[in-house]
Amino acid sequence: MNYEFGHVGGRRYMKTIFEEGEVSAEVAGMYKKIKQSFQSLDCALLPHPGKRITQRRPNAGVPTIDDVDDDFLESCDLVFEEMFSNPAVKKLRAEPLVGIDITNLAYTISNLMETRQFNEHVMYKACVQTHLQKITIQCEEGLFNSIKGKMERKYRSKQEIKQIHSEAVHDAMQNFDSEAKDGNPAEIRRHRDKLFSSLMDRHFMFDCYNNYLQAGVIELYEILLKECAEHVLTKNNGTPLDQKSEATRMFKSKSVQDPLDAEIREKFINRLGNLFDNQTGYEFRTILKKETQNETLIKTQNAVLWQICKEMNQLLSGKSATEQHMRQIQTEGLDQFEQEIKNMDLPVLTHDQKSSFEIALEAQMSSWKKINMFHSEAFPNSTEWDELWRKLKKAITYPFSQWQWKKVIFRRPESWR
């Protein structure tokens, strides 16, 4: 089961053999029955024969059982042992299953393999498709890992994000080209084109992470603005114009002179100046508190969106989902956002604030729908959604309360303290 390509590869391999191979109706029916009836029994009942079988040249003829890796049949023993490890028996049509069903299936499959009763052309096709699937998942994982690797935990400009995404796609396709050398060239080219298009559609992942990082930078400026304003309101008894001038000077001297921060920095300087224009101390603090709460909402929104992005990428790699599943994720994400706001002890969300997050979440899920369409076409759904959703809900409940107190990009300089 974990011989070379793991559970995902095993499922793909066995699905091709059983659905495209000329196996008896009895074997196919038993396979389907067991697959649907045991909660902890994976449908990948046999190990993949190994990469070696995919490396034969086309003119060498169709591979046979003798061409697979030497320990292939021996490794079946490990699979059968795992099959019997605490299977969770379920009822099928209100009738409890008995252990003889799974025993007969294992015995039948073993005999079929040893007597070469599986169609060898189908087996070869299954091996090539499984290897192609493994490469594709590797490329997708490499692209996602490059988000943090190439951005180095520092938010970037839109142009830089575009360049980083292009470089990540280029690296992923180079990996695909170096690995996908076996099988039908035309089929590989078609799959390559679809993979390239799917990876290009994932620009939103880089934007999502960039927004997450940018929220951390904005939080630092928010803290600095509040400190400068409170200092001036407490220590400076001059006119509002004098207070404005002193607060602006203090903010400029203490903020980080990073060219990338220039736009954010300028917005905060303007905000600081506007707050001092014709505002009393009480009004100033009231407005500042409201604006700070709005920034907290945005930070929470970006944190939840990035968390969902990470988990969706992990859980849907090589799998597929339905429209209903996507709607479930949107609902769960919105619930999580509202819960985090409650944890921060902020006022009740307004309709506009909630709608803003719904729009952002819907946009991300629309992008995931495109990715899901690629997977649905490339790899038929091979696992139970309930298990994916259980893991997703568990992951989304990540304690953001811990995240909100740590600095995302850099520590505040000593001059800020």
β-bridge mates for residue 179, sequence order: none
Of 187, 202, 217, the residue that ends a domain is 202
Q: What are the two backbone dihedrals, phi and then psi, of residue 258, each rounded to the nearest 5 degrees?
A: -95, 125
pLDDT at 354 (0 to 100): 67
Same domain flag for 234 and 365 = yes
Amino acid at 92: L
Same domain flag for 114 and 179 = no
Q: Which domain holds residue 135?
A: 127-202
47 found inside a domain = yes
Same domain flag for 311 and 354 = yes
Same domain flag for 27 and 119 = yes
Of 126, 149, 173, the residue that ends a domain is 126
Amino acid at 356: S
pLDDT at 203 (0 to 100): 92
Nearest-angstrom CA–CA distance, 344 and 356: 19
pLDDT in tens, 349-386: 666 666 778 888 888 888 888 887 777 655 544 444 44
pLDDT at 163 (0 to 100): 94
* Total tally of structural domains belonging to the chain: 3
Same domain flag for 141 and 102 = no
295 found inside a domain = yes
Instruction: Give pLDDT < 70 ranges for the chain.
Output: 1-15, 17-121, 123, 256-260, 278-282, 315-325, 343-354, 376-417
Same domain flag for 209 and 335 = yes
Nearest-angstrom CA–CA distance, 194 and 190: 6
Same domain flag for 67 and 17 = yes
Same domain flag for 357 and 324 = yes
Same domain flag for 195 and 261 = no
85 found inside a domain = yes
Nearest-angstrom CA–CA distance, 391 and 31: 26
In three-state form (DSSP H/G/I as H, E/B as E, the rest C), the secondary structure along 24-37 is CHHHHHHHHHHHHH
Same domain flag for 81 and 174 = no
Nearest-angstrom CA–CA distance, 320 and 376: 5
* Angle value at C-alpha 42, between 82 and 383, nearest 5 degrees: 160
Q: What is the pTM of this model?
A: 0.63
How far the first Cα of the chain sits from its last, in Å, is 56
Q: Which of 286, 281, 225, 223 is nearest to 250 (CA)?
A: 225
- H helices, E strands: number in the chain: 15, 2
As a whole number of Å, the CA-based R_g of the chain is 28
* Angle value at C-alpha 23, between 19 and 24, nearest 5 degrees: 120
Q: Which two tokens stand for residue 129?
A: 């498709």
Same domain flag for 249 and 375 = yes
pLDDT in tens, 3-53: 445 555 656 666 676 666 666 666 666 666 656 654 444 444 444 555 565
Q: Which of 385, 202, 383 is nearest to 309 (CA)?
A: 202
1 found inside a domain = no
308 found inside a domain = yes
Same domain flag for 255 and 338 = yes
Q: Label residues 362-385 b or e (16+ Cβ within 10 Å = b).
A: eebbebbeebbebbeebbeebbeb
pLDDT at 330 (0 to 100): 74
Nearest-angstrom CA–CA distance, 129 and 132: 5
Of 175, 202, 229, the residue that ends a domain is 202
